[in-house]
């Protein structure tokens, strides 16, 4: 196994020598995962791109860690020579998520950053074009944040198509058959009621 992961281990060593605070692991073949301090993401990606040959930016993903009050950005870059992917993760304060833009490295990152700004409310400093992307005139919580109530929004925004009036309540269907009478104090815990 050690021999097989030679390339990955070399990358891991180089990253560790250059960025002492980074937590680096190899979850599987052709993949190196790095957890970074926020302020290191620029020098880190510059180092990967210019020195280690990770020329390709595959994707930026975002995770809302509601309970920990953090927003995680996940940068995925790839090296065409050895087909290894590096996954770099940073965590921002959820109340005020801010990070300088990376558009000077990869111009196409502008689009990713605009989308993340709109869907998660992350502010990319120096981006210059964080305007409406897919949503128009969106107000309130960014919709991909976990505390956004999608169901409530769907109910308030859209009307039910005609023909859906015959929908049945599962719990009531069962109680009608069995004769069970659910007391008021229990009803608040029912999860199968139509509103």
- Contact positions toward another protein, by CB under 8 A? 150-151, 154-155, 158, 160-164, 166-171, 173-175, 177-180, 182-183, 185-187, 189-192
- Separation between Cα atoms, residue 165 and residue 185, nearest integer Å: 28
Query: For the chain, how are helix, strand and coil distributed in percent, rounded to 5?
Result: 30, 25, 45
Residue tagged 């390709």 (tokens): 56
Residue with tokens 């605009």: 114
Rank residues 129 and 190 by Cβ distance to another protein and give the closer one. 190
Contact 11, 5 (CB under 8 A): no
With respect to another protein, which residue has the nearer C-beta, 14 or 171? 171
How far apart CA 33 and CA 160 sit, in angstroms, is 45
Q: Cβ 15 to another protein, closest distance in Å?
A: 30
- Smallest gap, in angstroms, from Cβ of residue 163 to another protein? 5
In angstroms, what is the minimal distance from the CB of 188 to another protein? 8
- The nearer residue to another protein, 1 or 154, going by C-beta atoms, is 154
| Min separation Cβ 101 and another protein, Å | 29
Which of 107/179 has CB closer to another protein?
179
d(CA 89, CA 66): 16
Two structure tokens written together for 181? 């009478």
């Amino acid at each position: 196994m050690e021999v097989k992961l030679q390339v990955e281990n070399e990358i891991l060593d180089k990253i560790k020598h250059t960025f002492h605070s980074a937590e680096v692991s190899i979850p599987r073949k052709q993949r190196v995962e790095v957890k970074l301090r926020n302020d290191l993401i620029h020098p880190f990606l510059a180092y990967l791109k210019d020195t280690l040959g990770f020329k390709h930016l595959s994707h930026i993903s975002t995770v809302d860690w509601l309970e920990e009050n953090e927003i995680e950005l996940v940068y995925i870059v790839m090296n065409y020579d050895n087909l290894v992917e590096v996954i770099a993760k940073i965590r921002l304060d959820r109340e005020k998520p801010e990070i300088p833009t990376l558009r000077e490295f990869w111009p196409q990152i502008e689009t990713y950053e605009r989308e993340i700004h709109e869907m998660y409310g992350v502010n990319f400093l120096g981006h210059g074009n964080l305007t409406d992307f897919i949503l128009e005139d969106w107000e309130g919580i960014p919709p991909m944040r976990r505390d956004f109530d999608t169901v409530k929004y769907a109910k308030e925004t859209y009307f039910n198509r005609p023909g859906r009036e015959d929908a049945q309540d599962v719990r009531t269907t069962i109680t009608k058959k069995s004769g069970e009478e659910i007391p008021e104090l229990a009803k608040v815990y029912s999860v199968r009621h139509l509103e």
